[in-house]
A and B are shown apart, each in its own frame.
Chain A
Amino acid sequence: DAGVIQSPRHEVTEMGQEVTLRCKPISGHDYLFWYRQTMMRGLELLIYFNNNVPIDDSGMPEDRFSAKMPNASFSTLKIQPSEPRDSAVYFCASSRAQGPPQFFGPGTRLTVL
């Protein structure tokens, strides 16, 4: 069974550009999570979905960030406009409704110049 799939693996963009990160959770998993990893703040939750519905977006840093889950097999995290301080590794993770653990994707390394 395929794990969590994220694309792209690496993204380099210039300040002000729109960035879209993509995630395909493990089939049958009801929860999807977006985490961000930086040297300064470590690993932190941005938002998570249950059955495609956003449950907790309190970690989304500001209005420049948005996330969607149009169906059970796809989610996007969009940053518009991007800023250099958004440079980080963004992880997507998924889990079953019955409980943990969360399985992580390989991450997207975002660099905003």
Chain B
Amino acid sequence: AQTVTQSQPEMSVQEAETVTLSCTYDTSESDYYLFWYKQPPSRQMILVIRQEAYKQQNATENRFSVNFQKAAKSFSLKISDSQLGDAAMYFCAYQNYGGATNKLIFGTGTLLAVQP
């Protein structure tokens, strides 16, 4: 069974600085997707960024980028120029590619605080 581990329960960053959130996963599959979701206090789950395992290039979305290390099964999220609105719980998630199992498997989350 696939698992997702986020080893940092809480992180803090100064406004305008850069922070990296860690995520590792375990799977025997070769094709899969990885995601970072953001959950602000409103509790809405917001997709931040996605990565297809077959793509070697790391995904980037504006100030958000990932460092995808397939061999190490590592998928970290880097937030550049942190803003107060980035404060939220961040979840790393895994999904199999194709097949009958489409569920997302989530990590336990990292609570990010942004200090002004």
Contacts and interface: CB of A to CB of B under 8 A. Distances in A.
A42 B106 contact: yes
Contacts of B35: 100-101
A24 B89 CA distance: 25
Interface residues of B, number: 23
A109 B42 CA distance: 11
Interface string B30-45: 0001010100001111
A89 interface: yes
Task: Give the dominant DSSP class at B's interface.
Answer: loop
B54 to A, nearest CB: 12
A104 B109 contact: no
Contacts of A44: 106
B45 A104 contact: yes
A43 interface: yes
Interface residues of A, number: 25
A103 interface: yes
A45 B101 CA distance: 11
Given A100-B33, A106-B44, A31 B106 contact: no
A106 B47 contact: no
A101 B109 CA distance: 18
Interface in B41-55: 42-47, 50
Given A31-B102, A42-B108, A100-B33, A107 B43 contact: yes
10 contacts: A31-B102, A43-B91, A43-B104, A55-B102, A89-B43, A99-B33, A99-B97, A100-B35, A101-B35, A107-B43
Interface of B: 33, 35, 37, 42-47, 50, 91, 95, 97-98, 100-104, 106-109
Given A43-B104, A100-B33, 13 more contacts: A42-B107, A42-B109, A45-B103, A56-B103, A93-B104, A99-B97, A99-B98, A100-B35, A102-B95, A104-B37, A104-B44, A104-B46, A106-B44
